[in-house]
Chain A
Amino acid sequence: MDLQTMTYLVVGASFALYIGIAIWARAGSTSEFYAAGGSVHPITNGMATAADWMSAASFISMAGLIANMGYGGGLFLMGWTGGYVLLAMLLAPYLRKFGKFTVPQFIGDRFYSQTASTVAVICLLTASITYIIGQMTGVGVAFSRFLGVSSDTGIYIGMGIVFAYAVFGGMKGITYTQVAQYIVLILAYTVPAMFISLQLTGNPIPQLGLGSNISGTDISLLQKLDQVVTDLGFGQYTTSVPGSTLNMFVYTMSLMIGTAGLPHVIMRFFTVAKVSDARSSAGWALVFIAILYTTAPAVGAMAKLNLHGTVNTAVGLQTAADGSMVVNADAVKANADVFATEASLVYEQRPEWMKRWEKTGLLKFEDKNGDGRIQYYNDKTKSADAKAKAEAAGWKGNELTVNADIIVLANPEIALLPNWVIALVAAGGLAAALSTAAGLLMAISAAVSHDLVKGVFMPNISEQAELRAGKISMAVAIVIAGYLGLNPPGFAAGTVALAFGIAASSLFPAIMMGIFSKKMNKEGAIAGMLAGLFVTLFYVFAHKGIFFIKGTDFVDMIGGANSFFGITPEAFGAIGALVNFVVAFVVDKMTKEPPEHIQHMVENVRIPRGAKAVDGAH
């Protein structure tokens, strides 16, 4: 069977499965719609949370990002997992005990204020909508790369699928489809990784392979990679840090706090039956996430070595007769000169997978010195040694441009895996994008129908009418998300960082103070959220333009780029959170204590006894 037919078949089967689950898991009450009936098993919820959390970017782009950044890429790995420790200990069990459907409802009730709830809704909507634009474009990209349809058609199909299970099934439909999507995406990610690890190190477990020696040698894979990339003028793989160590520290902290504060993740913990389940469920979520997140750095490093080995024979890999990459142990040990003329691959002899990906534009070759060979190195290197050697060899600049996404997408082809594995990667990429989009849509529609329609405008709405409002707002949210995916605003690329910044600087501190500071009052909380949000937006907009409109940036006014101790705008969320905490405590000290019954409520939230099913009562 040819690859295209196989891909249609596997992707089609996965979609049929999602729709089948949707029909089985229709939501008949608001409790099922918002919280899947509040009786999801902690392991099931952990798996659904993992699919919810791991987006198209985690699946397609993260390994490539790490391959480019080396050691510094660890900030994504630690940042996007360490947040679950905070979530498990500081937020999830207490919010589950509180027993309501949404994050803004907690903030509104705890701070006895409609204003606080409305501020939280605004933060939630901004964070979730900016996040979902990336998911919808991810759906389009995945479709166009794997199925050969246009990106727009891909978004329409994606909207249709999400519509089917999210609108009718609500949280219940989403939960069980996410479980299926997790299984598809994790198989798609780990199977090719095992093969590539086996080929390079003889160890099929990628996490162990990354710490092993290259097959048939006593040279470790990371040591070889370090040597190859530094010879070619790139930064040393195991130590290179983008920006300063302080920036890496703050960036990691921002991602952790942002992860814990993202409403679509928090909401998943309203679906378990007990407070103790909320605690262990966060652990299960992290187990399922870690399977991908500990594989990704192995994929990144191994694919990077493979790529260098493909275009430079001095690395010690060679293409076998059947076209697969194999280790030539003697050549690995010989440490031949990467600048030798014959070492560079002759363009006409490049492997099949390079030809295929050249067509997509993700891989580009330009023969700058006209020798018909591919020279892939860092032509902007700071290493005088590498520069001198490249010049002496007659190299006239880097000739190969590689899009980071190739690291994951082309992996199965580089390893010459059967067509069904390549088809599975397509289904996995789509599962990652669709599951995250559905989780975000759920957070958006709950905020609109529950916190705005029921909470503000129509407090006496019946349950059936609220359920209808929930489904309508879900449908509207899908249309808006689809529209934004089809016509991505110019700023789409930078927005995911903004979503983390907002969650970290506004929502996380407000929820945490609501639980851990009994005396925190509404004035403090509202002032804190607004201050955290304001400084974060101010710093981001200074660099990227006001609401990301080109030409409105005012970075000179704040003293140049990254002027705050060299911290980049993507890393600023933690500083925003700090401002939030400080402002909240200062304002709290100057205004009067929260009423007695609120303090009792906080005491009650802190103990597990008396937890009941989540409900929607305001």
Chain B
Amino acid sequence: MDDQGKAYWSATLGLLGKILAIWFVCSFGAGILFADALNGIKLGGYPLGFFFAHQGSIYIFIALIFYYAKAMGNLDRKFDVHED
């Protein structure tokens, strides 16, 4: 792989790492591990930990995928590896 390709791949991995960290924190973190602590906070009628497990994580997942698709599109163009 040339230098350009290497740089593209490490930028990709950096992006994946960031997104997966958010993915983990909102579902496994807020929805499971810290759910009890968060339940003390209320979001309308929702205890917050319960909200993350039953609603919030799913909305964040959607946002993450579209952000990923957009950010990757930018990386593709920046490193000139995009489709025509």
Q: Which chain A residues have a beta carbon within 8 Å of chain B's beta carbons?
A: 66, 71, 73-75, 77-78, 81-82, 84-85, 88-90, 93, 207-208, 210-213, 220-223, 238-239, 245, 248-249, 252-253, 274-276, 279-280, 282-283, 286-287, 290, 293-294, 297, 603, 606-611
Contact = CB atoms under 8 A, between A and B. Distances in A.
A1 B57 CA distance: 43
Contact of A279 (B32, B69, B82, B84): B69
A211 B58 contact: no
Contacts of B72: 93, 276, 279
A290 to B, nearest CB: 5
Interface in B36-80: 36, 39, 43-47, 49-51, 53-55, 57-59, 61-62, 64-66, 68-69, 72-73, 76
A515 to B, nearest CB: 11
A238 B55 contact: no
Given A71-B50, A249-B33, A88 B69 contact: yes
Question: Which size class do B's interface residues fall under?
Answer: 35 or more
B45 A84 contact: no
Interface in B3-40: 5, 8-9, 12, 16, 19-20, 23, 27-28, 31-33, 35-36, 39
Contacts of B19: 85, 89
Given A85-B64, A279-B68, A280-B69, A211 B5 contact: no
24 contacts: A74-B31, A74-B50, A77-B53, A78-B31, A81-B57, A84-B61, A210-B54, A213-B45, A220-B44, A220-B45, A222-B45, A239-B36, A252-B28, A280-B69, A282-B65, A283-B65, A286-B58, A290-B59, A294-B54, A606-B9, A607-B5, A609-B76, A609-B82, A609-B83
The main secondary structure of chain A at its interface with chain B is helix
B16 A238 contact: no
A329 to B, nearest CB: 16
B38 to A, nearest CB: 11
The main secondary structure of chain B at its interface with chain A is helix
Interface core residue of B8, B46, B61 (most chain A CB under 10 Å): B61
Interface of B: 1, 5, 8-9, 12, 16, 19-20, 23, 27-28, 31-33, 35-36, 39, 43-47, 49-51, 53-55, 57-59, 61-62, 64-66, 68-69, 72-73, 76, 81-84
B58 A78 contact: yes
Contacts of A239: 35-36, 39, 47, 50
A284 to B, nearest CB: 9
A286 B65 contact: yes
Given A78-B27, A276-B73, A89 B20 contact: yes
B13 to A, nearest CB: 8
